[in-house]
Amino acid sequence: MELNKQDIAKRFCALSVEKQKAFLNTLKERGIDFSLLPIVRQSLENSPILSYAQHRHWFLWQLDPQSTAYHLSGVLRLLGKLNAEALQASFQALVARHESLRTVFRANAGGLPEQIIESEGKFELTMISLCDLPAEQRAQRARDEAMRINATPFDLTQGPLLRVALIQIATEEHHLVVVMHHIISDAWSNRIIIDEFAACYRAHIEGEPLLLPELPIQYADYAQWQRNWLEAGEKDRQLIYWRNQLGAEHPVLQLPTDYARSSNSSYRAAQHDFTLPDSLATRLQCQAQDRGATLFMMLLAGFQALLHRYTGQSDIRVGVPIANRHRAEIENVVGLFVNTQVLRNTIDSR
């Protein structure tokens, strides 16, 4: 009797590490690509391993536990009557739904980090009222409070790694501040949280059942699958590919900065916003279409040409974040899936 892919994946997950290696060899001999097997739920008898991206953030946090460089934060302005109890219940429902939002990280006896998924997530909604302040001072005070909340370091070993505060500006105006550590979330996850929060809040207000589709897997299941997938031969294939693409030398751009490059990362930066005229944006889109390219490709080429102009170097490499959500099982899962991909271009100044 032949096993279907779901059965094969479940059988694989039930094996010990050594038996998994032998099983992978059997799959190869039978011409079965491990990457085509579905991601299935893992047993939580043992603490789940970290994904490679989480491992990187764990390492960086250990180097500097007070750093806030990897905080993901946002503020939603809410107008109209607000039900704080429904808001609290909505976030509690999200914590129950997504294991990532109730996960902490600790080293085991061997010094290796593990995910600790708490059965009941600790969620507390912080309430701040600015109604006693003069009206002209409230907006700035709200910004200051949001910055303070974001600037408070997370302890990855204790959690919670989700922080939510409700700042009341007036009777029918509130600012909802949401801060998470990057080790449990990414920009795509933020969109999931906003959409599902809105659905939860609406259901509570209207007294209707919450109709969110059941999640097929959780992030810890993906972390284990990723490890198995790479160990099944994908890691070697990707190493060969990227070594061929990037080579052995990795030149640093010699930008003509006002100050010398620091040996330590301060993570201090500034942001400059500007708007392209509609006419220029339309021309860029047309140029991209004429060349069978996307607008992103056009803008990246322009940025790399600018870096070439500044530095005189022809080998330009730019790190670009990619969503890394290439499987249906993880489309609606909160977690750290994003990855940075190096895009290399050789500029010919002629």
Cα dist. 177→41, 183, 330 in Å?
32, 19, 26
> Residue 3: its pLDDT value, please?
59
- Which option is the CATH number for 39-249: 3.30.360.10, 2.40.40.20, 3.40.50.300, 3.30.559.10? 3.30.559.10
Amino acid at 302: G
**How far lies 181's CA from each of 33, 117, 145, in Å?**
34, 15, 18
Domain span(s) for CATH 3.30.559.30 in the chain: 250-346
Query: Structure tokens of 185?
Result: 């979330």
116 with 104: CB under 8 angstroms?
A: yes
The topology (CATH level 3) of 250-346 is Chloramphenicol Acetyltransferase (3.30.559)
Spatial distance between the Cα atoms of 116 and 37, rounded to a whole number of angstroms: 26
Per-residue confidence (pLDDT) for residue 180, from 0 to 100:
98
Residue 73, CB half-sphere, CA atoms under 13 Å: how many?
Answer: 23
What was the pLDDT predicted at 20?
75
Q: Please give the single-letter amino acid code of residue 39.
A: I
DSSP labels, 175-209:
EEEEEEEGGG--HHHHHHHHHHHHHHHHHHHHT--
* Closest C-alpha to 39, from 255, 335, 240: 335
The DSSP call for residue 213 is P
> What is the pLDDT, as a whole number, of residue 261?
83
Return the pLDDT at 234.
84
Q: Where do the CATH 3.30.559.10 domains begin and end in the chain?
A: 39-249
Residue 344: HSE in the Cβ half-sphere, 13 Å Cα cutoff: 12
The pLDDT of residue 1: 38
List average pLDDT for each run of 10 residues in the chain, which is 350 residues long: 70 74 80 81 80 96 95 96 96 96 95 92 91 95 97 95 97 97 97 96 94 94 90 87 92 89 81 93 95 95 94 94 93 96 87
- Give dist(CA 215, CA 223) in Å, integer: 16
